[in-house]
Amino acid sequence: MKVLLVEDETDLLSLVSEALDHYGVAVTEAESGGKALEALGRGDQFDVLVSDIAMPGNLSGIDVAYEVLKAYPDMRIILTSGHPLSNFSPLPENTHFLPKPYRVKQLMDLLNRHSAT
């Protein structure tokens, strides 16, 4: 499984990336929405986008999800945030929300559920 992991908190990005790697997940890290779109623009293929919603700059995780789905309508999306979901605009259809703080096992359960669909 190949995951594009988008998180602006570098410590959390490294921690989650290392944990997913431990489970055999191939992870490409991006520190911002812009970096995530750059990775996709290079033609890198991913099975799942896992992104924080609230990030600095002009692209939120929701914005990235909608852009990803334009080019890759079958890509699976998991969005995370420490803020209530009610604080954000609507998520794309079939997007999973994972509240922070989360355990890696919770993320892996969602990833495995995604891979089974």
Contacting residues for 6 by C-beta, under 8 A, at least 6 apart? 30, 31, 32, 33, 35, 36, 49, 50, 51, 52, 55, 61, 64
Q: How far apart are CA 42 and CA 30, in angstroms?
A: 13
More confident residue, 114 or 2: 2
Model confidence at 115: pLDDT above 70: no
Range of the domain at 6: 2-116
Residue 117: is its pLDDT beyond 70? Answer: no
pLDDT value, residue 43: 86
Burial of 24-56, coded b for 16+ CB within 10 Å and e otherwise, reads: ebebbbbbbbebbbeebeeeeebbbbbbbbebe
Per-residue pLDDT of 4-37, as tens digits, reads 999 999 999 999 999 999 999 999 999 999 999 9
Question: What is residue 96's three-state secondary structure?
Answer: strand
- pLDDT tens digits for range 40-78: 999 889 999 999 999 988 999 999 999 999 989 999 999
Q: In whole angstroms, what is the distance from residue 67 CA to residue 30 CA? A: 15
Residue 82 belongs to a domain with what CATH number?
Answer: 3.40.50.2300
> What's the total number of domains in the chain?
1
% residues pLDDT > 90 (the chain):
86
